[in-house]
Amino acid sequence: MRLLKAKLIGLAILISSISFAQLPSNVLVGYWENWGGLRLKDVDDRYNVLCLAFLEADKTTYATPHDNNVEDLEFTPTNKTTLKADIPIVQSEGKKVLISIGGGNGSFRLKNTTDKSTFVSKVKDFITEYGVDGIDIDLEQKTYVCATTNSAAKINNPTDIHITNLIDGIKEIMSWYQSQYNKKMILTMAPETAYVNGGLSNWTVNNSCGGHYLAIIEQLRDEIDLLMVQLYNSGSILDLNGTEQFESSVDFVLSATETIIKGFTAKGGLGTYSGLPEEKVVIGLTTCASDQAVRSRSEIVSIMNYLLGTGSKPGTYTLKDSYPNLKGLMTWSINTDAKMSSMSSCNPSVAYDFAQAFEDVFGTIDNSIEAVNRQSLKIYPNPTTGILTVN
Protein backbone atom coordinates (compact mmCIF):
# COMPACT_ATOMS: atom_id res chain seq x y z
CA MET A 1 0.00 0.00 0.00
CA ARG A 2 2.81 2.38 0.83
CA LEU A 3 4.53 1.60 -2.50
CA LEU A 4 1.32 2.28 -4.42
CA LYS A 5 0.94 5.61 -2.65
CA ALA A 6 4.49 6.55 -3.63
CA LYS A 7 3.77 5.69 -7.24
CA LEU A 8 0.64 7.84 -7.23
CA ILE A 9 2.52 10.76 -5.69
CA GLY A 10 5.17 10.37 -8.38
CA LEU A 11 2.47 10.40 -11.05
CA ALA A 12 0.97 13.55 -9.55
CA ILE A 13 4.35 15.25 -9.63
CA LEU A 14 4.84 14.14 -13.23
CA ILE A 15 1.45 15.48 -14.30
CA SER A 16 1.97 18.80 -12.55
CA SER A 17 5.27 19.34 -14.35
CA ILE A 18 3.92 18.73 -17.87
CA SER A 19 3.02 21.83 -19.86
CA PHE A 20 0.18 21.75 -22.39
CA ALA A 21 -0.85 24.12 -25.14
CA GLN A 22 -4.53 24.44 -24.39
CA LEU A 23 -6.64 24.36 -27.53
CA PRO A 24 -10.39 23.83 -28.01
CA SER A 25 -11.45 20.21 -28.55
CA ASN A 26 -11.87 20.93 -32.28
CA VAL A 27 -10.54 23.98 -34.06
CA LEU A 28 -11.71 26.24 -36.85
CA VAL A 29 -8.57 28.13 -37.82
CA GLY A 30 -8.86 31.27 -39.91
CA TYR A 31 -6.46 33.89 -41.18
CA TRP A 32 -7.44 37.45 -40.32
CA GLU A 33 -6.26 40.02 -42.86
CA ASN A 34 -4.69 42.90 -40.94
CA TRP A 35 -5.37 45.19 -43.92
CA GLY A 36 -9.09 44.34 -43.98
CA GLY A 37 -12.06 46.10 -42.39
CA LEU A 38 -13.15 43.25 -40.11
CA ARG A 39 -12.52 43.76 -36.39
CA LEU A 40 -11.09 40.75 -34.61
CA LYS A 41 -13.74 40.85 -31.88
CA ASP A 42 -16.48 40.74 -34.55
CA VAL A 43 -15.27 37.51 -36.19
CA ASP A 44 -17.85 34.72 -36.17
CA ASP A 45 -17.58 32.82 -32.87
CA ARG A 46 -17.06 29.50 -34.61
CA TYR A 47 -13.53 30.62 -35.49
CA ASN A 48 -11.62 29.72 -32.34
CA VAL A 49 -8.01 29.95 -33.57
CA LEU A 50 -7.30 33.33 -35.17
CA CYS A 51 -4.07 33.80 -37.15
CA LEU A 52 -3.08 37.42 -37.60
CA ALA A 53 -1.73 37.80 -41.14
CA PHE A 54 1.13 38.58 -41.41
CA LEU A 55 4.38 39.44 -39.67
CA GLU A 56 6.17 40.16 -42.96
CA ALA A 57 9.67 40.89 -44.22
CA ASP A 58 10.65 43.65 -46.65
CA LYS A 59 7.50 45.75 -46.71
CA THR A 60 9.19 48.27 -49.03
CA THR A 61 9.16 45.89 -52.01
CA TYR A 62 5.81 44.25 -51.36
CA ALA A 63 5.09 43.40 -55.01
CA THR A 64 8.46 41.75 -55.73
CA PRO A 65 9.30 39.55 -52.75
CA HIS A 66 12.65 38.15 -53.88
CA ASP A 67 15.13 39.87 -51.56
CA ASN A 68 13.21 39.90 -48.29
CA ASN A 69 15.39 40.27 -45.22
CA VAL A 70 14.46 39.15 -41.74
CA GLU A 71 15.55 42.49 -40.25
CA ASP A 72 12.57 44.00 -42.11
CA LEU A 73 10.02 41.84 -40.27
CA GLU A 74 7.07 44.10 -39.60
CA PHE A 75 3.38 43.94 -38.71
CA THR A 76 1.27 46.89 -39.83
CA PRO A 77 -2.39 46.53 -38.82
CA THR A 78 -4.81 49.16 -40.06
CA ASN A 79 -5.56 50.11 -36.46
CA LYS A 80 -3.05 48.88 -33.90
CA THR A 81 -4.94 50.32 -30.92
CA THR A 82 -8.18 48.58 -31.88
CA LEU A 83 -6.46 45.26 -32.48
CA LYS A 84 -4.66 45.39 -29.14
CA ALA A 85 -8.03 46.04 -27.45
CA ASP A 86 -9.70 43.15 -29.31
CA ILE A 87 -7.10 40.44 -28.61
CA PRO A 88 -7.82 40.05 -24.86
CA ILE A 89 -11.56 40.15 -25.60
CA VAL A 90 -11.46 37.08 -27.86
CA GLN A 91 -8.95 35.35 -25.58
CA SER A 92 -11.37 35.75 -22.67
CA GLU A 93 -13.87 33.75 -24.77
CA GLY A 94 -11.45 30.82 -25.01
CA LYS A 95 -10.19 31.63 -28.50
CA LYS A 96 -6.50 31.55 -29.35
CA VAL A 97 -4.70 34.30 -31.23
CA LEU A 98 -1.50 33.56 -33.16
CA ILE A 99 0.81 35.69 -35.26
CA SER A 100 1.38 34.18 -38.69
CA ILE A 101 4.93 34.80 -39.87
CA GLY A 102 5.78 35.13 -43.56
CA GLY A 103 2.96 34.64 -46.04
CA GLY A 104 3.04 34.85 -49.82
CA ASN A 105 4.78 38.23 -49.95
CA GLY A 106 6.54 38.44 -46.59
CA SER A 107 8.61 35.26 -46.31
CA PHE A 108 12.39 35.30 -45.78
CA ARG A 109 15.53 33.23 -45.31
CA LEU A 110 17.67 32.96 -42.18
CA LYS A 111 21.04 33.03 -43.88
CA ASN A 112 23.26 33.16 -40.80
CA THR A 113 23.24 33.25 -36.99
CA THR A 114 22.66 37.02 -37.03
CA ASP A 115 19.47 36.45 -39.02
CA LYS A 116 18.39 33.80 -36.52
CA SER A 117 18.98 36.14 -33.58
CA THR A 118 17.04 38.90 -35.33
CA PHE A 119 14.15 36.53 -36.05
CA VAL A 120 14.01 35.39 -32.42
CA SER A 121 14.21 38.93 -31.09
CA LYS A 122 11.51 40.33 -33.37
CA VAL A 123 9.09 37.48 -32.64
CA LYS A 124 9.65 37.84 -28.88
CA ASP A 125 9.01 41.57 -29.16
CA PHE A 126 5.76 40.99 -31.03
CA ILE A 127 4.51 38.40 -28.53
CA THR A 128 5.32 40.73 -25.66
CA GLU A 129 3.64 43.73 -27.29
CA TYR A 130 0.45 42.02 -28.50
CA GLY A 131 0.07 39.19 -25.98
CA VAL A 132 -0.65 36.45 -28.53
CA ASP A 133 -0.80 32.75 -27.66
CA GLY A 134 1.72 31.52 -30.20
CA ILE A 135 3.10 31.60 -33.72
CA ASP A 136 2.18 30.20 -37.11
CA ILE A 137 5.05 29.55 -39.52
CA ASP A 138 3.89 30.27 -43.06
CA LEU A 139 6.98 30.45 -45.24
CA GLU A 140 6.00 30.27 -48.92
CA GLN A 141 7.67 30.22 -52.36
CA LYS A 142 10.77 28.33 -53.43
CA THR A 143 12.96 31.35 -52.68
CA TYR A 144 12.17 31.09 -48.98
CA VAL A 145 11.60 27.35 -48.50
CA CYS A 146 14.08 25.43 -50.64
CA ALA A 147 17.32 24.16 -49.20
CA THR A 148 20.46 24.67 -51.26
CA THR A 149 20.43 20.98 -52.24
CA ASN A 150 18.25 17.93 -51.64
CA SER A 151 21.01 16.51 -49.49
CA ALA A 152 20.89 19.56 -47.22
CA ALA A 153 17.13 19.05 -46.74
CA LYS A 154 17.38 15.50 -45.38
CA ILE A 155 14.34 14.96 -43.19
CA ASN A 156 16.14 13.31 -40.30
CA ASN A 157 19.37 15.29 -40.47
CA PRO A 158 19.00 18.65 -42.25
CA THR A 159 22.15 20.71 -42.78
CA ASP A 160 20.81 23.66 -44.79
CA ILE A 161 21.59 26.78 -42.75
CA HIS A 162 18.16 28.35 -43.29
CA ILE A 163 16.33 25.20 -42.17
CA THR A 164 18.52 24.60 -39.12
CA ASN A 165 18.39 28.27 -38.10
CA LEU A 166 14.59 28.23 -38.36
CA ILE A 167 14.31 25.06 -36.27
CA ASP A 168 16.73 26.35 -33.63
CA GLY A 169 15.11 29.79 -33.59
CA ILE A 170 11.63 28.37 -33.03
CA LYS A 171 12.90 26.18 -30.20
CA GLU A 172 14.55 29.20 -28.61
CA ILE A 173 11.33 31.21 -28.81
CA MET A 174 9.34 28.32 -27.32
CA SER A 175 11.78 27.92 -24.44
CA TRP A 176 11.60 31.66 -23.73
CA TYR A 177 7.78 31.61 -23.87
CA GLN A 178 7.60 28.67 -21.43
CA SER A 179 9.88 30.50 -19.01
CA GLN A 180 8.10 33.83 -19.46
CA TYR A 181 4.47 32.67 -19.24
CA ASN A 182 4.76 29.25 -17.53
CA LYS A 183 2.88 27.47 -20.34
CA LYS A 184 3.58 25.98 -23.72
CA MET A 185 3.48 28.35 -26.66
CA ILE A 186 1.14 27.22 -29.44
CA LEU A 187 3.04 26.37 -32.62
CA THR A 188 1.29 25.85 -35.95
CA MET A 189 2.48 25.56 -39.53
CA ALA A 190 0.73 26.06 -42.86
CA PRO A 191 3.12 24.89 -45.58
CA GLU A 192 2.24 24.70 -49.25
CA THR A 193 1.45 21.23 -50.57
CA ALA A 194 4.48 20.91 -52.86
CA TYR A 195 6.92 21.20 -49.97
CA VAL A 196 5.21 18.44 -47.97
CA ASN A 197 3.30 15.96 -50.14
CA GLY A 198 5.58 16.82 -53.05
CA GLY A 199 8.20 14.64 -51.40
CA LEU A 200 6.40 11.65 -52.93
CA SER A 201 7.30 12.74 -56.47
CA ASN A 202 10.76 12.36 -57.99
CA TRP A 203 9.99 15.16 -60.43
CA THR A 204 8.78 17.57 -57.72
CA VAL A 205 11.74 16.81 -55.46
CA ASN A 206 14.27 17.34 -58.24
CA ASN A 207 12.62 20.32 -59.94
CA SER A 208 10.63 22.17 -57.27
CA CYS A 209 12.36 21.14 -54.00
CA GLY A 210 9.38 18.93 -53.18
CA GLY A 211 9.31 17.82 -49.55
CA HIS A 212 11.83 20.37 -48.28
CA TYR A 213 9.45 21.49 -45.49
CA LEU A 214 9.40 17.93 -44.14
CA ALA A 215 12.70 18.39 -42.29
CA ILE A 216 11.22 21.33 -40.37
CA ILE A 217 8.08 19.38 -39.49
CA GLU A 218 10.00 16.25 -38.49
CA GLN A 219 12.47 18.07 -36.27
CA LEU A 220 9.66 19.97 -34.52
CA ARG A 221 7.07 17.19 -34.46
CA ASP A 222 6.86 17.20 -30.65
CA GLU A 223 6.50 20.99 -30.49
CA ILE A 224 3.93 21.38 -33.29
CA ASP A 225 0.33 21.68 -32.11
CA LEU A 226 -1.38 22.02 -35.51
CA LEU A 227 -0.19 21.22 -39.04
CA MET A 228 -2.51 22.64 -41.69
CA VAL A 229 -1.09 22.06 -45.15
CA GLN A 230 -2.59 24.37 -47.77
CA LEU A 231 -4.62 21.97 -49.91
CA TYR A 232 -5.12 24.58 -52.64
CA ASN A 233 -3.05 26.60 -55.15
CA SER A 234 -1.18 23.39 -55.63
CA GLY A 235 -1.45 21.54 -58.90
CA SER A 236 -1.49 17.76 -58.82
CA ILE A 237 0.22 15.54 -56.23
CA LEU A 238 0.83 11.83 -55.81
CA ASP A 239 -0.98 9.79 -53.18
CA LEU A 240 0.46 6.94 -51.10
CA ASN A 241 -0.43 4.52 -53.91
CA GLY A 242 1.59 6.52 -56.47
CA THR A 243 -1.58 7.74 -58.22
CA GLU A 244 -1.76 11.35 -59.41
CA GLN A 245 -4.51 13.38 -57.72
CA PHE A 246 -5.76 16.72 -59.02
CA GLU A 247 -6.65 19.55 -56.65
CA SER A 248 -10.15 20.04 -58.05
CA SER A 249 -11.15 16.56 -56.84
CA VAL A 250 -12.25 15.40 -53.39
CA ASP A 251 -9.66 12.62 -53.68
CA PHE A 252 -6.93 15.27 -53.55
CA VAL A 253 -7.98 16.31 -50.03
CA LEU A 254 -8.56 12.76 -48.82
CA SER A 255 -5.27 11.34 -50.09
CA ALA A 256 -3.20 14.36 -49.07
CA THR A 257 -4.56 14.24 -45.52
CA GLU A 258 -3.84 10.55 -45.18
CA THR A 259 -0.31 11.09 -46.47
CA ILE A 260 0.30 13.80 -43.85
CA ILE A 261 -0.86 11.48 -41.07
CA LYS A 262 0.68 8.20 -42.25
CA GLY A 263 4.07 9.51 -43.33
CA PHE A 264 6.23 8.11 -46.13
CA THR A 265 9.72 7.60 -47.48
CA ALA A 266 10.47 10.63 -49.63
CA LYS A 267 12.08 10.53 -53.04
CA GLY A 268 15.48 11.93 -53.91
CA GLY A 269 17.14 10.48 -50.81
CA LEU A 270 15.40 12.94 -48.49
CA GLY A 271 14.69 10.22 -45.93
CA THR A 272 11.61 9.20 -43.99
CA TYR A 273 8.85 11.49 -42.78
CA SER A 274 7.22 9.87 -39.73
CA GLY A 275 3.79 11.44 -40.14
CA LEU A 276 1.89 13.27 -37.41
CA PRO A 277 -0.86 12.12 -35.04
CA GLU A 278 -4.29 12.91 -36.46
CA GLU A 279 -4.96 15.06 -33.37
CA LYS A 280 -2.43 17.55 -34.75
CA VAL A 281 -3.75 17.63 -38.32
CA VAL A 282 -6.10 20.32 -39.61
CA ILE A 283 -7.57 20.31 -43.14
CA GLY A 284 -6.56 23.53 -44.92
CA LEU A 285 -8.95 24.72 -47.64
CA THR A 286 -9.68 28.02 -49.39
CA THR A 287 -12.83 30.12 -49.41
CA CYS A 288 -11.83 32.19 -52.45
CA ALA A 289 -14.55 31.77 -55.06
CA SER A 290 -12.08 32.28 -57.92
CA ASP A 291 -9.86 29.38 -56.85
CA GLN A 292 -10.38 26.09 -58.67
CA ALA A 293 -9.89 24.23 -55.38
CA VAL A 294 -12.74 26.01 -53.56
CA ARG A 295 -15.18 23.58 -51.93
CA SER A 296 -18.91 23.79 -51.48
CA ARG A 297 -20.24 23.31 -47.97
CA SER A 298 -21.75 19.92 -48.85
CA GLU A 299 -18.46 18.79 -50.36
CA ILE A 300 -16.49 19.82 -47.27
CA VAL A 301 -18.95 17.97 -45.05
CA SER A 302 -18.76 14.80 -47.15
CA ILE A 303 -14.94 14.90 -47.20
CA MET A 304 -14.70 15.40 -43.44
CA ASN A 305 -17.30 12.79 -42.56
CA TYR A 306 -15.46 10.18 -44.63
CA LEU A 307 -12.13 11.09 -43.02
CA LEU A 308 -13.69 10.93 -39.55
CA GLY A 309 -15.23 7.54 -40.31
CA THR A 310 -18.83 8.72 -40.06
CA GLY A 311 -19.75 9.00 -43.74
CA SER A 312 -19.53 7.20 -47.07
CA LYS A 313 -16.74 7.60 -49.61
CA PRO A 314 -17.37 10.77 -51.68
CA GLY A 315 -14.83 10.03 -54.44
CA THR A 316 -12.72 7.15 -55.74
CA TYR A 317 -9.85 7.23 -53.22
CA THR A 318 -10.22 4.61 -50.50
CA LEU A 319 -8.76 5.55 -47.12
CA LYS A 320 -6.52 2.99 -45.46
CA ASP A 321 -7.99 4.00 -42.06
CA SER A 322 -10.50 6.43 -40.63
CA TYR A 323 -9.31 9.36 -38.55
CA PRO A 324 -11.93 10.18 -35.90
CA ASN A 325 -9.58 12.48 -33.96
CA LEU A 326 -8.80 14.95 -36.74
CA LYS A 327 -8.50 18.35 -35.09
CA GLY A 328 -10.52 20.51 -37.47
CA LEU A 329 -10.52 22.87 -40.45
CA MET A 330 -8.50 25.89 -41.58
CA THR A 331 -9.21 28.45 -44.27
CA TRP A 332 -7.77 31.45 -46.04
CA SER A 333 -9.32 33.79 -45.11
CA ILE A 334 -11.78 34.81 -42.38
CA ASN A 335 -12.38 38.08 -44.23
CA THR A 336 -13.32 36.17 -47.36
CA ASP A 337 -15.67 33.85 -45.48
CA ALA A 338 -17.30 36.93 -43.92
CA LYS A 339 -17.73 38.42 -47.42
CA MET A 340 -15.35 41.22 -46.44
CA SER A 341 -12.34 40.31 -48.56
CA SER A 342 -10.31 43.06 -50.23
CA MET A 343 -10.64 40.94 -53.40
CA SER A 344 -14.23 40.98 -54.62
CA SER A 345 -13.57 37.95 -56.85
CA CYS A 346 -12.95 35.88 -53.71
CA ASN A 347 -16.11 36.63 -51.78
CA PRO A 348 -18.43 33.59 -51.55
CA SER A 349 -22.15 33.79 -52.16
CA VAL A 350 -23.03 33.16 -48.49
CA ALA A 351 -21.31 34.78 -45.52
CA TYR A 352 -19.59 32.36 -43.13
CA ASP A 353 -20.46 29.34 -45.26
CA PHE A 354 -17.12 27.75 -44.34
CA ALA A 355 -17.80 28.26 -40.63
CA GLN A 356 -21.16 26.60 -41.11
CA ALA A 357 -19.48 23.61 -42.78
CA PHE A 358 -17.29 23.28 -39.68
CA GLU A 359 -20.36 23.31 -37.45
CA ASP A 360 -22.14 20.80 -39.72
CA VAL A 361 -19.24 18.40 -39.15
CA PHE A 362 -18.21 19.00 -35.54
CA GLY A 363 -21.34 20.49 -34.02
CA THR A 364 -21.32 23.42 -31.64
CA ILE A 365 -17.93 23.74 -29.95
CA ASP A 366 -17.59 25.06 -26.40
CA ASN A 367 -14.75 27.59 -26.56
CA SER A 368 -14.99 28.64 -22.93
CA ILE A 369 -11.82 28.72 -20.84
CA GLU A 370 -13.32 26.06 -18.55
CA ALA A 371 -13.96 23.69 -21.45
CA VAL A 372 -10.44 24.15 -22.80
CA ASN A 373 -8.98 23.46 -19.39
CA ARG A 374 -11.09 20.31 -18.96
CA GLN A 375 -10.07 18.73 -22.24
CA SER A 376 -6.37 19.60 -22.14
CA LEU A 377 -5.40 16.56 -20.02
CA LYS A 378 -6.85 13.09 -20.58
CA ILE A 379 -6.12 10.21 -18.19
CA TYR A 380 -7.59 6.79 -18.96
CA PRO A 381 -8.82 4.24 -18.10
CA ASN A 382 -10.08 5.54 -14.77
CA PRO A 383 -10.20 3.66 -12.50
CA THR A 384 -7.58 1.05 -13.36
CA THR A 385 -5.31 -1.46 -11.68
CA GLY A 386 -3.17 -1.79 -14.83
CA ILE A 387 -1.65 0.62 -17.35
CA LEU A 388 -2.66 4.27 -17.00
CA THR A 389 -2.44 6.47 -20.10
CA VAL A 390 -1.80 10.22 -19.76
CA ASN A 391 -2.49 12.18 -22.95
**Number of Cβ within a 10 Å radius of residue 173:** 20
HSE of 120, CA atoms in CB hemisphere, 13 A: 19
Q: Among 140, 218, 258, 278, which one carries the catalytic annotation?
A: 140
Identity (one letter) of the amino acid at 293? A
Identity (one letter) of the amino acid at 214? L
Active site residue 172: no
Nearest 10 degrees: Cα torsion 377, 383, 385, 388: -10
Closest CA to 80 of 38, 31, 130, 125: 130
Closest CA to 316 of 260, 261, 253: 253
Sheet strands side by side (includes 282-286): 226-227, 186-189, 134-139, 96-102, 49-55, 27-33, 328-332, 282-286
Nearest 10 degrees: Cα torsion 15, 263, 23, 388: -30
SS3 per-residue string spanning 156-167: CCCCCHHHHHHH
Catalytically active residues are 140
